Copies of this chain bind each other. A is one copy, B any other.
């Protein structure tokens, strides 16, 4: 065991028990998660956290993010993996084998939802496309996430999040006016927006199914999801086609800034003249509130750059601690810039109990963020830990009515792995991971 390297334990008070608890609004819903990487797995985790029973179906190689070296990992379990896959059970199947396909279709027979995010053509080749699955389960809600959609010029291309960022404008607006080079958003925002889009839309489709709409196919390209997510503010300067000045007006992307204090940084944002005047007072410049140049919206608009420079200069004269006390007292919208250790120690984040530690048998202590929605009638509980690869093979096959002999036959045919192979594979996965 490693020594403590940060203040996590202090922030979290106590380790959360690992036994699953609670039910959530999706209690009774059964999901087959035949997806990998982030967009599909995170959508299915969201459903699991809200109470669905989710079976993650993995290929013999396992989800590539298990052993990715793009995230720290231990024993074939990366943090990225555990935080996109908790609440699920894992079955590992050779889906290219006819008997493996039969297991997958058997799972579908008892499922309400099927999630897949392979490139177009793969589920057709494997015989588990919407048509095939809805033949065995006519009221299935079947979700196809892909990079670009089922057709079109890029449909067959491989996709990762930053590529969608470049295409949708996320990179075009990620430019600090003071350091004018484009950058990527350094979180997988397109993957995650797609995941939330998919999870919510599954719930809408389940609602409609109970009211008579039947099963259906939800086609959710990352490109479409990411552009819709980006658009409301990202395209501010382009939305009003008959506004001659649109391109020259300030947008959120252009006015966003971090402010330098005497000893650190702070974020403030004022959307009204009242809030701006509160800021003037907090900075010790009550007299600015009476200046006719800054006393109303038109003046603020006309003198925006001058005001920005005055405020920046005043902020730079205050130590962070003094300044934040004054901003708080004047009710200016503001906050600190926290590093990841400080996030864990923030008083409101602690108050809301947003982080928890749990002990995973394969990888030791994990840090997790809890589900963000508090449902008063159908509270969500603590979900089960992310599964090891194929951890629930036998359990799930037994639930499907397979006998011990059937299961042994699947093992000897290589359709599922033996426990010994599983252990060896986990070690290999831990040593593998690749790609810069």
Contacts and interface: CB of A to CB of B under 8 A. Distances in A.
A424 interface: no
Contacts of A375: 201, 205, 216-218
Interface in A171-209: 171-176, 179, 181-189, 192-193, 196-201, 203-208
Interface string A129-162: 0100000000000000000110111110111111
Contacts of A351: 149, 151-153
A82 interface: yes
Interface string A195-236: 011111101111110110111111111011101111111111
Given A68-B271, A175-B186, A186-B175, A331 B157 contact: yes
Interface string A30-42: 0000000110001
A53 to B, nearest CB: 15
A12 to B, nearest CB: 10
Nearest to A297: B434
Contact of A166 (B163, B201, B338): B338
A245 B230 CA distance: 35
Given A216-B376, A228-B370, A267 B200 contact: no
Contacts of A349: 167, 223, 227
A26 B371 contact: no
Given A184-B267, A270-B436, 18 more contacts: A26-B204, A28-B211, A71-B233, A72-B240, A72-B251, A82-B240, A169-B340, A176-B181, A176-B186, A186-B256, A188-B232, A200-B201, A217-B376, A224-B352, A227-B354, A227-B372, A239-B368, A308-B436
A80 interface: yes
A242 B434 contact: no
A270 B435 contact: yes
A116 interface: no
A261 interface: no
Contact of A241 (B8, B198, B275): B8
Interface string A368-383: 1111111111100000
A79 interface: yes
Interface centre among A211, A300, A346 (most CB of B within 10 A): A211
A73 interface: yes
7 contacts: A72-B246, A163-B267, A166-B336, A179-B181, A213-B378, A243-B364, A311-B436
Given A272-B64, A275-B435, A366-B240, A258 B184 contact: yes
A218 to B, nearest CB: 6
A192 to B, nearest CB: 6
Interface residues of A, number: 191
Contacts of A204: 24-26, 50, 203
Contacts of A201: 25, 50, 200, 203, 373, 375
Contacts of A242: 1-2, 74, 363-365
A239 B72 contact: yes
A170 interface: yes
B163 A335 contact: yes
4 residue pairs, one from A and one from B, having the closest CB atoms:
A200-B200, A79-B239, A242-B364, A297-B434
Contact of A188 (B162, B252, B357): B252
Contacts of A42: 232
Interface string A55-97: 0000000001000111111100111101110000000000000
A373 B218 contact: yes
Contacts of A169: 338-340, 343
A46 interface: yes
Contacts of A2: 241-244
Nearest to A173: B186
Contacts of A298: 431-432
A434 B303 CA distance: 11
A83 B232 contact: yes
Interface in A324-371: 328, 331-341, 343-344, 346-349, 351-352, 354-355, 357, 363-371
Contacts of A297: 69, 431-435
